[in-house]
Structure 1
């Protein structure tokens, strides 16, 4: 199982999760590739223990090498420190 993790700041309106609804502020994104090729994106408050499933943050990859690109794309879309 491979994974990437990066800090980011949610923009106005926050980030929607399946578990607790919207979360805001300084967050961390974790993108995890399971052995079956499925990817899940999770977020948490920076430094917290509990991860929450990012709404719409699941997909499948044909090539495991694409995980890094998917992670960087998500960070680019989610990181909105100035709105």
Structure 2
């Protein structure tokens, strides 16, 4: 699955520490779906509390990219929750 990289700009990593792709990809897909949905199922708080397993020498996503993505998604969901 490489959908998150195409839609979110998340970069892959194998050498540097990263977050496990098998955890990041389904969560990012759920967030992307909720951001497009008129009634999201995920709240900003859930996105803020989300953690992923770190990996090294395995397929993963760069930690800084994922953290930045989650910050942006949390902000957008919070605005939506506040009616903005």
* TM-score normalised by the chain length of structure 2: 0.30
- Larger fraction in helix: 2
* TM-score normalised by the chain length of structure 1: 0.31
Q: Determine which structure has more spread, i.e. the larger CA radius of gyration.
A: 2
- Larger fraction in strand: 1
